[in-house]
């Protein structure tokens, strides 16, 4: 079992370059099977979720080469439309393949998805939307079986703006004749990126970034080379780390607009944040005044994927803060681990009250999901003494070489 050993207390100084966004790359990889031609994705991080998606696509018959930061996908031989449980359980994003497989093969058999345990994570909105497109769906023995012999365009209203359901329905409707309208859809930057990617391949989609997306069916898509948007959550994690630890950190290759909700929170602390084009420079003296209230929301609100990291920051801030988690119901699991380091946190349902303590004390803790795991590393960076973070395979899902990146900033972290 791999773990991080952290000796806390160092300020962070230095520069990092942010790579492509996991939450864009995974649906773009799923979308690649909509063409027989070659797709090249640039600036892809080395993270295990990308490896899992490669395994799934190879299981479908795709040929994939990884060359440096490029992922080269050849789907000319992709002939299977089934994703077995052994592969689907590795990755929740395997559910995006439902839409892609239906578009390519007119049928799909996909085991229920896996991913981090951060709540119920149902897929009812995906299923309802696909049924409205005339797709026949049966749920049998842990599998979702679909065929789309009678697929038709539709006007679909999502019960809530699910990112995955919006992406799945865009992928499922690309080749359906006529105009499909998806209302109350998610507005996340990754949705805009998927629209841009598909349109570059020859699709006709508009509206991404607003709450209504219109997909006009086309006959064929072609291969492309594409650079996905930078990872706003990874960038946000390093900004929070710098705010907590103190120091001067510059991030490049970022889209600051994508993390404006975090920058707005940081501007209420004593940190100084400077933005210049795709660069963000943060200067911090360390321990901050508590942020009074943080509520996670759909984009452009504060992202649930940065909630655990901002909680870690609040544990050592001056004063009391309240975090309301509106997206995933069990995303406060990490609080019990932060408490082992001396944090003072009370949880009641979807609300966490954090009374900042003067210092955390190093201890052994374990990650139970990707972002929660990252927050434990951040807490370890400010804790007095040595912390050990176990089960870091969760962190590897979405952060490339977290310890190496933090070492570049002068942190005392090593992976064993």
78 versus 304: smaller Cβ distance to ligand UD1: 304
- List alpha helices for 43-175, DSSP H: 48-59, 85-88, 96-105, 124-132, 163-173
Nearer to ligand UD1, 121 or 340 (CB): 121
Give 23 or 290: the residue with its C-beta nearer to ligand UD1.
Answer: 23
Q: How far is the CB of 328 from ligand UD1 (least distance, A)?
A: 5
Which tokens go with 96? 């995006």
CB of 181 to ligand UD1, least distance (A): 19
CB of 278 to ligand UD1, least distance (A): 22
**Closest to ligand UD1 by CB, 12 or 172:** 172
> What is d(CA 30, CA 221) in angstroms, rounded to the nearest whole number?
14
Q: How far is the CB of 13 from ligand UD1 (least distance, A)?
A: 29
Our CB check for ligand UD1 shows the closer of 300 and 410 to be 300
* 256-261, Cβ contacts within 8 angstroms, sequence gap of 24 or more: 256/280, 258/189, 258/229, 258/230, 258/232, 259/232, 259/235, 260/300, 261/297, 261/300, 261/301, 261/302, 261/303
> Tokens 């440096």 belong to which residue?
68
Alpha helix (H) ranges present in 250-401?
260-266, 307-315, 334-340, 370-382, 393-396
Minimal CB distance to ligand UD1: which residue?
164
Cα 107 to Cα 147: distance, rounded to the nearest angstrom: 4
Q: Is the Cβ of residue 184 or residue 412 nearer to ligand UD1 in the bound state?
A: 184
Number of residues written out for the chain: 416
Q: Which two tokens stand for residue 349?
A: 């349902």
Residue 100: how many CA atoms within 13 Å on its side-chain side?
31
d(CA 116, CA 27): 17
CA gap 94, 87 in Å, rounded: 8
Give the shortest CB-49-to-ligand UD1 separation in angstroms: 8
CB of 21 to ligand UD1, least distance (A): 9
State the CB neighbour count (10 A cutoff) for residue 289: 13
Taking the least distance from each CB to ligand UD1, the nearer of 68 and 122 is: 122
Sequence-distant (6+) residues with CB within 8 A of 416 are: 2, 3, 4, 5
Q: Let me know if 116 is a catalytic residue.
A: yes
Bridge partners for 12 per DSSP: 247
| Shortest CB 125 distance to ligand UD1, Å | 3
Q: In the numeric block, which tokens belong to residue 78?
A: 């992709």
Per annotation, catalytic residue among 116, 148, 185, 245:
116
Contact residues: ligand UD1, CB under 6 A:
23, 26, 92-93, 119-126, 160, 162-165, 186, 190, 304-305, 327-328
Diameter of the chain by CA atoms? 63
CA dist., res. 178 & res. 117, Å (int): 38
Q: Which residues are catalytic?
A: 116
């Amino acid at each position: 079992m791999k773990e991080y050993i952290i000796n806390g207390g160092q300020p962070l100084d230095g520069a990092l370059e942010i790579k492509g966004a996991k939450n864009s790359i995974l649906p773009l990889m799923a979308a690649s099977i909509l063409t027989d031609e070659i797709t090249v994705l640039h600036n892809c991080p080395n993270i295990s979720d990308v490896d899992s998606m490669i395994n799934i696509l190879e299981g479908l018959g795709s040929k994939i080469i990884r060359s440096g930061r490029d992922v080269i996908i050849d789907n000319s031989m992709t002939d299977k439309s089934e994703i077995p449980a052994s592969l689907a359980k590795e990755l929740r994003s395997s559910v995006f393949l439902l839409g892609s497989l239906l578009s390519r093969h007119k049928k799909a058999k996909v085991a229920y998805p896996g991913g981090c345990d951060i709540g119920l994570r149902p897929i009812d909105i995906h299923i309802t939307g696909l049924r409205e497109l005339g797709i026949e769906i049966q749920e049998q023995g842990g599998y979702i079986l679909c065929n789309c012999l009678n697929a038709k365009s539709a006007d679909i209203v999502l019960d809530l703006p699910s990112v995955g359901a919006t992406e799945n329905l865009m992928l499922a409707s690309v080749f359906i004749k006529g105009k499909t309208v998806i209302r109350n859809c998610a507005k996340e930057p990754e949705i805009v990126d998927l629209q841009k990617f598909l349109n570059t391949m020859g699709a006709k989609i508009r509206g991404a970034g607003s709450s209504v997306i219109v997909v006009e069916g086309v006959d064929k898509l072609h291969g492309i080379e594409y650079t996905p948007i930078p990872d706003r959550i990874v960038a946000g994690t390093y900004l929070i780390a710098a705010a907590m630890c103190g120091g001067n950190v510059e991030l490049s290759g970022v889209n600051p607009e994508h993390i404006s909700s975090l920058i707005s929170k940081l501007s209420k602390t004593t940190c100084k944040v400077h933005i210049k084009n795709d660069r963000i420079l943060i200067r911090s003296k360390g321990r901050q005044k508590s942020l009074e209230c943080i509520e996670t929301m759909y984009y452009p609100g504060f992202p649930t994927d940065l909630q655990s990291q901002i909680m870690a920051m609040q544990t050592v801030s001056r004063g009391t803060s309240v975090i309301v988690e509106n997206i995933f119901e069990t995303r406060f699991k990490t609080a019990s681990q932060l408490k082992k380091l001396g944090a003072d946190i009370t949880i009641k349902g979807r609300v966490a009250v954090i009374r900042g303590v003067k210092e955390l004390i190093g201890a052994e803790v374990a990650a139970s999901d990707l972002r929660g795991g990252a927050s434990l590393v951040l807490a370890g960076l400010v804790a007095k003494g040595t912390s050990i973070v176990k089960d870091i395979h969760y962190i590897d899902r979405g952060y490339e070489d977290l310890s190496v990146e933090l070492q570049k900033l002068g942190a005392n972290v090593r992976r064993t």
